[in-house]
Structure 1
Amino acid sequence: MNALGIIFSDMQDWSMTELASHRSVAAIPFGGRYRLIDFPLSNMVNSGMNKICIITKSNYRSLMEHVGSGKDWDLSRKKGGILIFPPYAVGENHGLFKGRLDALKRVLDYISSSKEKYVVLSDCDMICNIDYNKVISYHESKNSDITAIYTKATLEKNSSIHKILYEFDEEGRADDILVYPITQGSHNVGLNSWVMNKDFLESIIYDAIARNYKDFSCDVLAAKVHSLRIFGYEYNGFYAHIDSLQSYYDNSMELLNIEKQQSLFYAKTGPIYTKTKDSAPTKYSKDANVKNSLIASGCIIEGTVENSIVFRGVKVGKNAVIKNSIIMPHGTIGENAQLNSIVTDTYAYVNNDRVLLGYSNCPFFIKNHSIV
């Protein structure tokens, strides 16, 4: 594919303080063995892109360790491949970037030197499995300046405030764009992914430099909706937006539905790739009892796990009971402990006989390396 991929790793880190306090949003574990970065990366690779850059903001060590050279996505190449941009200052731009445009200003030289005709922009907090070839074909057919990918979804007021909503005319052209509104009902929800010609993106960045614009959604999409040809491409597959601990928990639990799990991980567009760990198979003791759960490799299960997601390297002690919970990598749940509606971060340790009870609409969170 003749397209350059650009992934923003931390566009909404401020809304996920529990999960992103010590790591990039892109490095948040999801689905038992994946990280959020795996989804946009896999989408681009499955669509034929072989030149992808990731723009980081802060706490990017675990992200760099996970992505490495990109070989697990077939991106370890002499030409093209993957490139990670840590934050750095360019000219008058100092400190951490304050929006997508501000981030793009700092990699303008890289974009300008690229030979690809198109650019695909994507955040990491939207999970889907999409074929960008179809989006680019649609982009060409509409002679569009910007093609925004969206899906139809029903929102509540508390779930709309981190989203971009679109209204389209009969031709499919955007005639109104709402950025982070408070609303409810059925809407066209943007997936924070856009396609445009590289030359057009460069002109946007130069204009942003001249006018000191920083925010792509407000200063370009919403402000110029009537002057630019912005069209929408509808996506109809599995979609999840991770913008809070509650949405992380809810969307993770959705994966226990086999139909939704298959529509994400086994879609015709291609598989979701992740870093190969070469872990040993999970060991189940004779007293282990596992129901309707995702259990990654490298675990030791000696207790009961129901309706839960257990990541790699987790140990569940004898007679421990875990229900409706998410146990991130290398956690330890002691003997006779009871957990319900709990999210434990990496290397969390729950002592023997502890009882931790959360609620499905308010899960209890245990920080990484905590001892409870």
Structure 2
Amino acid sequence: MNNTLGIIFSDMQDWSMTELASHRSVAAIPFGGRYRLIDFPLSNMVNSGMHKICIITKSNYRSLMEHVGSGKDWDLSRKKGGILIFPPYALGENHGLFTGRLDALKRVLDYISSSKEKYVVLSDSDMIYNINYRDVIKYHEEKNSDITAVYTKYPLKKTCSIHKIMYEFDDEGRAKDILVYPIINGVQNIGLNTWVMNKDFLEALIHDAIARNYKDFSYDVLAARVHSLRIYGYEYKGFYAHIDSLQSYYDNSMELLKMDVLQSLFYSKTGPIFTKTKDSTPTKYLSHANVKNSLIASGCTIEGTVENSIIFRDVKIGKNAVVKNSIIMQHGTIGENAQLDSIISDTYAFVNNDRVLLGYSSCPFFIKKHSIV
């Protein structure tokens, strides 16, 4: 896998997550108590033996750069290869922020051309799963594929299909139809927004996109050229989550409270999910603490009741406070006697004593960063 280059897009669907991505990139959204969304594609690549990875950013990327740093927590602080973060910049005729994956790739064409790797793995940051790309590249070679798309079979409702790519394959696994952001229901072949291709082929695609002024990889390449290109699908069969809205963030976070889901994602045989190491103290559970079926990160102080919730680092739950079915991000404070149910509280939010905040599992209540309630 030393001959494979990894490219991660940090903000392909930031427009659909205005609450969570208003002051950070999609890749930097906290998840699971101590992780960020970027940790999952990064860990997948590192666990697959890839040691040259670049992240293409778009906006609000300060917290992402702070989190990734030199890449040492993913063993990517290296003299050769390692990790490289591309802030958004204009090049030639490309002015302003990029508007699609192809448009983003145009701006890093020099970097791709100078790379000596044979293969390229393209990945978004809003898909959560644990995979070994060695198997995908082996399948890519066996099929002599132009593009190999990673997909999974999953039941969909019309209300949650609009941000997804659907594939239809023939008996040999070759794509014969591709639908981009359809409104559809039933069990579908859902793309995980991850593709493998030869580097030379990707360069040719980018040059063709420049000549034709193409900007969107999904529409202008996958859907438009499905019959002329050899596009094959590699089926992924483990746990998968797509974070494309506040509701999907809440629903998939709550899935982590199921032991089988937790083990499938974080204790998979393909490898662990790495994240930035922080030297936090152990969580303190005081005499009135009562915790059930919850994920509690380090550095917290718990005096109240926590049930079916995810509590990030350095959160304080006051005496006699009750937090149920909620997500409290890092450095949050819940005052004494407060009651929260179905709440997503962003970082540094403060809920005063005796406050009662009740959301619904189908419509969680959101508290903005640095808010005081």
3-state secondary structure, aligned to 2:353 = coil
Q: CA deviation at 1:159?
A: 0.6
The aligned counterpart of 1:181 is: 182
Q: Deviations over 1:54-93 (max 9, x none)?
A: 0000000000000000000000001100000000001000
The aligned counterpart of 1:121 is: 122
The aligned counterpart of 2:326 is: 325
The aligned counterpart of 1:40 is: 41
* Residue type of the alignment partner of 1:312: R
The TM-score normalised by the length of structure 2 is 1.00
Q: CA deviation at 1:277?
A: 0.5
The aligned counterpart of 2:10 is: 9
Q: How far, CA to CA, are the matches of 1:371 and 1:190 in structure 2?
A: 40
Q: Deviations over 1:133-174 (max 9, x none)?
A: 000000000000000000000000111000000000001000
The aligned counterpart of 2:82 is: 81
**Structure 1 unaligned blocks of 5 or more:** none
The aligned counterpart of 2:55 is: 54
**Structure 2 counterparts to residues 154-193 of structure 1, below 5 A:** 154-193=155-194
Q: Deviations over 1:154-204 (max 9, x none)?
A: 000111000000000001000000000001011000000000000000000
* Residue type of the alignment partner of 1:61: R
3-state secondary structure, aligned to 2:218 = helix
Q: How many residues align?
A: 372
3-state secondary structure, aligned to 1:89 = coil
Q: CA deviation at 1:119?
A: 0.1
The aligned counterpart of 1:272 is: 273
Q: CA deviation at 1:278?
A: 1.0
Q: Is residue 227 from structure 1 mapped to residue 236 from structure 2 by the alignment? A: no
Q: How far, CA to CA, are the matches of 1:238 and 1:91 in structure 2?
A: 42
The aligned counterpart of 1:131 is: 132
Q: CA deviation at 1:334?
A: 0.3
Q: Deviations over 1:103-145 (max 9, x none)?
A: 0000000000001000000000000000000000000000000
**Structure 2 unaligned blocks of 5 or more:** none
Structure 1 segments, 4+ long, off by >3 Å, are: none
Q: CA deviation at 1:286?
A: 1.0
Question: What's the Cα RMSD here?
Answer: 0.3
Q: How far, CA to CA, are the matches of 2:329 and 2:205 in structure 1?
A: 40
Q: How far, CA to CA, are the matches of 1:159 and 1:192 in structure 2?
A: 16
* Residue type of the alignment partner of 2:159: N
3-state secondary structure, aligned to 1:262 = helix
Q: How far, CA to CA, are the matches of 2:20 and 2:159 in structure 1?
A: 19
Q: Is residue 93 from structure 1 mapped to residue 97 from structure 2 by the alignment? A: no
Q: How far, CA to CA, are the matches of 1:313 and 1:215 in structure 2?
A: 41
The TM-score normalised by the length of structure 1 is 1.00
Calculate percent identity across the aligned residue pairs: 85
* Residue type of the alignment partner of 1:341: S
The aligned counterpart of 1:215 is: 216
Q: How far, CA to CA, are the matches of 2:316 and 2:22 in structure 1?
A: 25
